[in-house]
Amino acid sequence: MSFSALDSALTGPLFATAEMRAVFSDRARIGAMLRVEAALARAAARFDLAPEGLAAAIEAIAAGSLDLEKLGAETAVAGVPVIPFVRAVQARLAKDLEPAFHKGATTQDVLDSALVLQMRDALALIASDLRAAIPALAALAREHRATPCVGRTYGQHAAPITFGFKAAAWLTGLADAGAHGRSRRMALDPHRRARQNGDGRGASCLDRGRGGGGAPRAGPRRLLGHAAQAQPGLLDDHPRRPCRRERTCRHLA
């Protein structure tokens, strides 16, 4: 039985492709969470906060090896999926590695960072579709720039337009989406942006991993191996976006 129109075999394809569903599947989420934990272990090992072999041991665990139904049942009790996820991974690690797994991290650290990885994959899919659709719409608009078409109707016909004009309006919307998506992909570039790493007070999980006070040895921007000069924020330092008319005319030129 379908829970909603989104997971319905009948209406689901209206909302997402099979490729996009795979990006946001439960299995993909587990895989992203494992990648985050491996990155955390690798960063922590550089500062002697985790064993050297922990990251490789995490990477050796396949997302498909974790029992999703069991994780789901335990999530219903724990309230969040990270708690049973951590237990399941710890059960697959060697005894000398298990205590350091997830050390100092929070549920928010893992879930938010994993979601960012999924969003990056999703935006890549959208960009691929836009690269095919935008030139096709531009060609359609040029081909039918003089083809008469009934204008938008609301109970009766509006003033006539050309079908090329209608196609150009569709093109404008996709050009806007493409420009917006590029800025988002730049924001999610692992070499440019920091990821979530810290509690509500802004404390780094690597700082907490040292047992509290003292000068921090690694801040949140270093968690996933980012350059120290990674800039804060998601939307800063982007050049001015051309207006809609400029983008549409560029594709129709």
- Residue among 191, 136, 215 at smallest CA distance from 168: 136
- pLDDT above 70 for 24: yes
What's the pLDDT at 154?
79
**Measured between alpha carbons, how far is 251 from 244 in angstroms, rounded to an integer?**
11
- Dump pLDDT digits (tens) for 78-115: 999 999 999 999 999 999 999 999 999 999 999 999 99
Whether 117 and 32 have beta carbons less than 8 Å apart is answered as yes
What's the pLDDT at 226?
38
**Measured between alpha carbons, how far is 74 from 83 in angstroms, rounded to an integer?**
8
Beta bridge pairs of residue 117: none
- What percentage of the chain carries pLDDT values higher than 90? 57
Token code pair at residue 151: 């204008």
What's the pLDDT at 166?
92
- pLDDT above 60 for 191: no
Beta bridge pairs of residue 151: 158
- pLDDT above 70 for 33: yes
**Measured between alpha carbons, how far is 164 from 142 in angstroms, rounded to an integer?**
6
Token code pair at residue 153: 């109707």
Q: What value does the mean pLDDT take over residues 49-59?
A: 96
**Measured between alpha carbons, how far is 42 from 53 in angstroms, rounded to an integer?**
9
- Dump pLDDT digits (tens) for 161-172: 999 999 999 999
- pLDDT above 70 for 204: no
**Measured between alpha carbons, how far is 188 from 38 in angstroms, rounded to an integer?**
18
Identify the residue whose tokens are 């000068």: 215
Token code pair at residue 87: 């237990």
What's the pLDDT at 3?
80
Identify the residue whose tokens are 């005894």: 95
Q: Residues for the chain: how many in total?
A: 253
Query: Residue 215: which pLDDT band, with cuts at 50, 70 and 90?
Result: very low
Domains and CATH numbers, the chain: 12-252 (1.20.200.10)
What's the pLDDT at 156?
85
Query: Residue 1: which pLDDT band, with cuts at 50, 70 and 90?
Result: low
Alpha helices in the chain (DSSP H): 18-23, 26-46, 54-59, 68-78, 82-90, 107-143, 163-187, 205-209, 244-252
- Dump pLDDT digits (tens) for 131-157: 999 999 999 999 999 999 988 777 888
- pLDDT above 50 for 228: no
- pLDDT above 60 for 180: yes
- pTM of full prediction above 0.85: no
Whole-number mean pLDDT of the chain? 80
- What percentage of the chain carries pLDDT values higher than 70? 71
Q: What value does the mean pLDDT take over residues 6-18?
A: 89
The vertex-246 CA angle with 250 and 249, nearest 5°, equals: 40
Q: What value does the mean pLDDT take over residues 19-48?
A: 96
Q: 150-184 as b/e, with b when 16 or more CB fall inside 10 Å?
A: eeeeeeeeeeeebbbebbbeebbebbebbbebeeb
What's the pLDDT at 185?
66
- pLDDT above 50 for 75: yes
What's the pLDDT at 235?
33
**Measured between alpha carbons, how far is 212 from 208 in angstroms, rounded to an integer?**
5
